[in-house]
């Protein structure tokens, strides 16, 4: 039985349209994917997957919140939406400033920082925070998922779960490519410190750009 037809029995409709849209959404550059790439390039594959785990967990939580209707509450409360939006923008700006400071203004501290245990940096918490402080993400999930769920089906929770599983699977493949690509670039950057600092500077500017974009978004 064709997969799309099979999933229709569980309330999932237009599967291939969903997958096509999903691919475009996943590969679009964002703070989460850039953070995973930077972490893998600077810390290696294992720590890269720790950052990716934060993204997977954040996506799962946002999908669950959209399912139970929190997205509608945020949408209906401009004050709450603004608060979450500004918190997310502030966190992105903070990350960007930290990267610039560590690479260009704290030469003496940079060597000591490399000796600090990676676990103390709490990579997972950072990537999870990036995911959860984007109010547009939860609004996106509720507006995107509803297009592919048959609400005549009695157990729409199962439909959400299936769509979320597909999303996480594709996200895992894409982030894995970024992680191994970032790790492969690590040797190159270690041998060329000026290029490494320039690359980190660009990443910091991207984070600041995402912060400005999030700060100016409307509900």
pLDDT digits (tens, 9 = 90+) for 120-142: 468 898 889 888 876 667 666 76
Scanning the structure block, which residue is given the tokens 């895992």?
172
Is the CB of residue 145 less than 8 Å from the CB of residue 9? no
> Which two three-digit tokens encode residue 162?
């299936």
Span 28-84, pLDDT tens digits: 667 788 888 888 887 888 899 999 999 999 988 888 887 787 656 666 777 776 776
What is the model's pTM?
0.69
215 vs 16: which has the higher pLDDT:
16
Burial track 121-133 (b if 16+ CB lie within 10 A, e otherwise): eebbebbbbbbbb
Span 174-193, pLDDT tens digits: 999 989 988 776 665 555 55
Residue 147's Cβ-side half-sphere holds a number of Cα atoms within 13 Å equal to 12
DSSP for 105-171, please give it.
I-HHHHHHHHHS-HHHH-HHHHHHHHHHT-HHHHHHHHHHHGGGB-TTSS-HHHHHHHHHHHHHHHH
- On the question of pLDDT at 107 being above 90, the answer is no
Q: How many CB atoms lie within 10 A of CB 58?
A: 20
Residue 117 is predicted with a pLDDT of: 44
């Amino acid at each position: 039985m064709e997969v799309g037809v099979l999933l229709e029995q569980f309330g999932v409709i237009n599967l291939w349209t969903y997958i096509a849209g999903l691919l475009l959404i996943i590969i679009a550059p964002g703070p989460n994917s850039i953070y995973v790439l930077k972490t893998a390039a600077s810390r290696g594959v294992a720590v890269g997957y720790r950052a990716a785990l934060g993204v997977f967990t954040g996506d799962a939580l946002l999908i669950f919140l959209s399912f139970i209707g929190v997205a509608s509450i945020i949408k209906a409360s401009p004050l709450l939406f603004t608060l979450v939006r500004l918190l997310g923008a502030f966190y992105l700006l903070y990350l960007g400033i930290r990267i610039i400071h560590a690479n260009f203004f704290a030469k003496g501290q940079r060597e000591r920082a490399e000796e600090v245990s990676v676990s103390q940096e709490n990579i997972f918490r950072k990537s999870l925070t990036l995911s959860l402080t984007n109010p547009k993400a939860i609004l996106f999930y509720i507006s995107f998922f509803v297009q592919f769920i048959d609400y005549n089906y009695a157990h729409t929770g199962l439909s959400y779960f299936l769509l979320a599983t597909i999303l996480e699977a594709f996200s895992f493949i894409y982030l894995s490519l970024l992680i191994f690509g970032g790790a492969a670039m690590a040797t190159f950057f270690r041998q060329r410190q000026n290029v490494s600092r320039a690359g980190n500077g660009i990443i910091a500017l991207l984070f600041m750009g995402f912060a400005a974009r999030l700060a100016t978004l409307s509900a």
